[in-house]
Amino acid sequence: AEDGYKLWLRYDKIDNPVLIEKYRQLIKGYSFKGNSPSIKVAEKELNLALNKLLDCEIQTLDNLRSNVILAGAHKNITLNLPEEISNKLKTIGDEGYIIKTFETEGKRITLITANADIGVLYGTFHFIRLLQMQSDIDNLNIVESPLIKLRLLNHWDNLDRTVERGYAGFSIWNWHLLPDYIDPRYKDYARANASIGVNGTVLTNVNANSLVLTKQYLKKAAALADVFRPYGIKVYLTARFSAPIEIGKLSTADPLNPEVRKWWKEKAKEIYELIPDFGGFLVKANSEGQPGPQNYGRSHSDGANMLAEAVEHYGGVVMWRAFVYDNNVPEDRAKQAYNEFKPLDGKFKDNVLIQVKNGPIDFQPREPFHPLFGAMPETPLMMEFQITQEYLGQGTHLVYLAPLFKECIESDTYAKGAGSTVAKVIDGSLDNHALTGIAGVSNIGNDRNWTGHLFGQSNWYAFGRLAWNHNLTSEQIAEEWIRLTFGNKNEIVEIIKNIMMPSRENTVNYMTPLGLHHIMGWDHHYGPAPWIKDKPRAEWTSVYYHRADSNGIGFDRTVNGSNAVSQYHSPVSEIFNSLEKCPEKYLLWFHHVPWDYKMKSGKTLWEELCNHYYAGVDSVRSMSKKWKQLEGKIDSELFDHVSMLMKIQEDEAVWWRNACVLYFQTFSKLPIPEGFEKPD
Ligand code: GCW
């Protein structure tokens, strides 16, 4: 049985007898040059993979012969290499790599080389992936390097091992047994992340506990850092702004107070003594009740710069989150982060990144891109995506998120004219930033298969692949993941791809079509509850967002409404502002639209809304039908796991549809269109 523990690193024996024989001919052995920990783990990984995939003992060779893999950093390869290799190495930085087949002295060599040993590890994983996908390896010529520098998972893991918005069990960090007991899972976590190029991990929740910054816990974090180091993964921690009070016995955490600044500097020194390559801090401040510089009348830049100063000497960074909104500010929540941060552009130290969620509200099934992208040219902006499906069916719905990620990064901000995509903002190419980053809120827990829903693995995978290269398509990534997870039978690959590719749009349809947002259940954020009102904060209700009334539905963010459209550059602002031009997928995000408004299809808004909700349910049903075709063709344990979850998803799609259609009908007072089953 296959419980999914091995993720995309399964290394099952190649099931094609011709191909396996061919691979055995082409790979007679390997030779790794260098002896750093990264080279050692690369060699170990290749050994494991080859012996399993090719089902025969493949060993290291001392003397080069034909048909071997030669792997090592450029400086450790004594062979005369073709000149083009040295030229290309100059362009690929420390993490890039080259995989190249060439002949020398009559021998055929597959070279995996890089400027640094970590690049060799990444190249080794790439080579293994080629075999897993049964690709042609006769004549390889691959040059790769990441487009974004910091590629991080953000764990929202608490020290008591609960995980905020986690749906896959408890935290994999066993704080109680650390630092002495090293769960083998930590190494598998590092292998999986390195295989997709993730190079950093924030171990703890942004709703932070100061305790993690005490010596006792820092030693535990250091033990994890030791496991991750060979895999090129740095450890980062969340810093609670009030830590100087809570664990430092100071009376204030005012960022301009000299004692406070000294405390953070000493804390940084203590951390770097234990974790010499500590990555830095992630901070949620003055947001949802978290302490921050504004408690002392200071700005976000005062706070961020104080921490940045403490870690700069060691090469550390501060990732300061832009997820702020305040009930006491009489302003559309979607506008608040921009209003707070835009005026601070240029005021942050060089080692500060501002971490911005993909959309202006909060990880909804669909949001337009966040207006801060393109609005702060002097500041490196990091993308924060959510891999865990807080608002997308959590642990039970199959939703492949690459299309959501891609939709956002391909959006054009027009900050410097056409082609100023969000991708170019975050990869630094638009405004010439060398320090760049992207983070994904992790969906990992201690469930046997790591992510609860098996298809959650595809979202972890997709995040890493896109963080490395945002030009990959959703379809390419889906295809890779399917082949690595379910094998290479084309029929199976096609069925699963046809399930994954439309799955995000399906979910938008049965949850929040046409630009609706934040109409889920109070606090738990799971099922539908568009009726939520009377909560401590208006922005925690649903009625704040959909604004349904007898005239129509939607949040007016045009120049006549909250004017959130003005935060976008022209012509995006005019397009969003125009009822006719606004893409219908964002219609109710920007406009309050009459129920009888004629949509592009010729149907009224009410009919179209119903159409989307019903189409969402239908698509989940057809997804289940497709999945059933796999019975007996894939591992039965995996088949049953997904089948049972799909049943839940189907029931809940109906639940969402019925709840929303019936509730909105109390305002529209219009009948459910002909031909649709009756909601109850
Ligand atoms: O979406 C909200 C979540 C909170 C989360 C917060 C944030 C970590 O409901 O659970 O807190 O976003 O991103 O800070």
Summarize pLDDT for 78-121 with one digit per residue, the tens: 988 888 999 999 999 999 999 999 998 889 999 999 999 999 99
The pLDDT > 90 percentage for the chain reads 95
My answer on whether 434 and 454 are in the same domain is yes
Q: How far does residue 155's CA lie from ligand 1's centre (Å)?
A: 12
CATH number at residue 512: 3.90.1330.10
Domain boundary among 124, 144, 164: 144
Query: Does residue 323 have its Cβ closer than 6 Å to ligand 1?
Result: yes
| 480-491 pLDDT tens trace | 999 999 999 999
Asked whether residue 577 is domain-assigned, the answer is: no
Residue 153 sits at the vertex; the CA angle it makes with 230 and 527, to the nearest 5 degrees, is: 150
Q: Are residues 189 and 206 in the same domain?
A: yes
Same structural domain, 373 and 299? yes
Give domain status of residue 345, yes or no: yes
Q: Is the pLDDT of residue 160 over 70?
A: yes
**In the listed set 78, 109, 144, which residue is the last one of a domain according to the structure?**
144
The residues that bridge with 356 in the sheet, in sequence order, are: 383
For the stretch 123-132, pLDDT in tens is 999 999 999 9
Q: Report whether residue 206 contacts ligand 1, using a CB cutoff of 6 Å.
A: yes
Q: Are residues 227 and 286 in the same domain?
A: yes
Q: How far apart are CA 170 and CA 395, in angstroms?
A: 13
Residue type at position 588: L
Pick the catalytic residue: 15, 21, 259, 288? 288
Q: List phi, psi (to 5°) of 289.
A: 85, -5
User: Which long-range CB contacts under 8 A does 632-637 form with residues at least 24 apart?
Assistant: 633/489, 633/491, 633/492, 634/486, 634/487, 634/492, 635/1, 635/2, 636/1, 637/1, 637/2, 637/3
Q: In what order do the strands lie in the sheet with 68-73?
A: 29-33, 68-73, 107-114, 97-104, 141-144
Mutate which of 154, 158, 165, 525 for ligand 1 pocket (most atoms within 8 A of beta carbon): 165
Mean pLDDT of 358-365: 98
Residue 571 lies in a domain: no
CA-based nearest residue to 327, from 544, 548, 164, 526: 544
| C-beta separation of 284 from 207 below 8 A | yes
165 C-beta closer than 6 A to ligand 1: yes
Query: Residue 546 C-alpha to ligand 1 middle, in angstroms?
Result: 21
Atom of ligand 1 nearest to the CA of 207: 8
- Contact criterion met (CB below 8 Å) for 654 and 625: no
Q: Which atom of ligand 1 is nearest to the CA of 525?
A: 9
CA distance 384 to 410: 15
Q: What is the mean pLDDT of residues 159-182?
A: 98
With H, G, I as helix, E, B as strand and everything else as coil, classify residue 201: strand
Pocket test for ligand 1, best of 319, 323, 325 (most atoms within 8 A of CB): 323
Among 362, 556, 607, 652, the active-site one is 362
Domain membership flag for residue 76: yes
CA distance linking residue 300 with residue 303, whole number of Å: 5
302-327 residue pLDDT tens: 999 999 999 999 999 999 999 999 88
What does the pLDDT read at residue 327? Answer: 82
Work out the angle at residue 171's Cα, subtended by the Cα atoms of residues 166 and 175, and round it to the nearest 5 degrees: 150
230 and 371, same domain (yes or no):
yes
Q: Is the pLDDT of residue 2 over 80?
A: no
Assign 81 to helix, strand or coil.
Answer: coil
Residue nearest to atom 11 of ligand 1 (CA): 207
Please tell me the total count of domains within the chain.
3
pLDDT score at 569: 98
156 touches ligand 1 (CB under 6 Å): yes
Pairing of strands 381-386, 68-73: unpaired
> Is 339 a pocket residue for ligand 1 (Cβ < 6 Å)?
no
Atom of ligand 1 nearest to the CA of 284: 14
Report the pLDDT averaged over residues 224-252. Answer: 98
Same domain, 139 and 167: no
Q: Do both 414 and 300 map to the same domain?
A: yes
Look at ligand 1, atom 3, and give the residue with the nearest C-alpha.
165
Tokens 């080579």 -> residue: 127
Q: Which two tokens stand for residue 368?
A: 């337009």
Confidence of residue 354 (pLDDT cuts 50, 70, 90): very high
Instruction: Check whether residue 519 and residue 407 sit in a common domain.
Output: no
How far apart are the C-alpha atoms of 666 and 240, rounded to whole Å? 45
- What is the rounded distance in angstroms from the CA atom of residue 514 to the CA atom of residue 114? 47
- Helix, strand and coil content of the chain, in percent to the nearest 5, comes to 40, 10, 45
**Residue 216 CA, ligand 1 centroid: distance in Å:** 27
Q: Domain containing 118: what range?
A: 17-144
DSSP 520: B
Q: Is the CB of 617 under 6 A from ligand 1?
A: no
Average pLDDT, the chain: 97
pLDDT at 1: 61
Contacts of 292 (CB under 8 A, 6+ apart): 241, 283, 285, 286, 300, 303
Tell me whether residue 475 is in a domain. Answer: no
Out of 45, 117, 390, 608, which one is annotated catalytic? 390
Q: How far is the CA of 288 from the centre of ligand 1 (A)?
A: 8
CB 119 within 8 A of CB 109: no
| Residue 461 region by backbone torsions, left for phi larger than 0, else alpha for psi between -120 and 50, else beta | alpha
- Best residue among 167, 288, 539 to mutate for probing ligand 1's pocket (most ligand atoms within 8 Å of CB) is 288
Helices (H), 446-571: 456-468, 474-486, 490-500, 503-511, 543-546
Distance 306 CA to ligand 1 centre (A): 24
**Does some domain include residue 560?**
no
d(CA 448, CA 458): 16
564-618 tens-digit pLDDT: 999 999 999 999 999 999 999 999 999 999 999 999 999 999 999 999 999 999 9
Residue nearest to atom 1 of ligand 1 (CA): 362
Phi-psi region of 304 (alpha: psi -120 to 50; beta: other; left: phi over 0): alpha
Cα–Cα distances (Å) from 312 to 304, 324, 366, 559, in that order, read 12, 25, 37, 43
Q: What is the DSSP letter of 96?
A: -
pLDDT digits over 514-524, tens only? Answer: 999 999 999 99
Q: Is residue 137 part of a domain?
A: yes
Q: What is the DSSP letter of 179?
A: T
For residues 282 and 321, is the Cβ–Cβ distance under 8 A?
Answer: yes
Burial of 219 (0-12, 13-18, 19+ CB in 10 A): middle
Ligand 1 atom with minimal separation from the 164 CA: 10
Of the three residues 441, 470, 499, the one that is the final residue of a domain is 470
Rg for the chain (alpha carbons), in Å? 26
Pair 122, 211 in one domain: no
- Token reading at 577: 């502002």
Q: Are 187 and 250 within one domain?
A: yes
Ligand 1 atom at shortest distance from the alpha carbon of 357: 13
- Residues 260 and 253: beta-carbon distance below 8 Å: yes
Per-residue b/e over 477-493, b at no fewer than 16 CB within 10 Å? bbbbbbbbbbbbeeebb
Ligand 1 center to 230 CA (angstroms): 32
Q: 380 and 257, same structural domain?
A: yes
pLDDT digits (tens, 9 = 90+) for 329-353: 889 999 999 999 999 999 999 999 9
Query: 210 CA distance to ligand 1 centroid (A)?
Result: 18
Distance from Cα 466 to the centre of ligand 1, integer Å? 23
CA distance linking residue 651 with residue 39, whole number of Å: 49
Q: Per-residue DSSP letters for 120-141?
A: HHHHHHHHHHHHHTT---TT-E
| E-assigned strand segments in 374-471 | 381-386, 437-441
Pocket lining: 284 vs ligand 1, CB cutoff 6 Å: yes
Residue 10 lies in a domain: no
Buried/exposed 436-450: b ≥16 CB within 10 Å, e otherwise: bbbbbbbbbbbbebb
pLDDT score, position 680? 80
15 labelled catalytic: no
183 is catalytic: no
The CATH number that applies at residue 50 is 3.30.379.10
Ligand 1 geometric centre to CA of 412 (Å): 26
Ligand 1 atom with least separation from CA of 321: 14
How many Å apart are CA 31 and CA 111, to the nearest integer? Answer: 10
- Catalytic-residue membership of 640: no
Atom of ligand 1 nearest to the CA of 362: 1
State the average pLDDT over residues 2-21.
Answer: 95
Rounded to whole angstroms, the maximal C-alpha distance in the chain is 82
Distance (Å, whole) CA 460 – CA 193? 9
Is the domain of 216 the same as that of 86? no
Residues 6+ apart with CB under 8 A from 636: 1
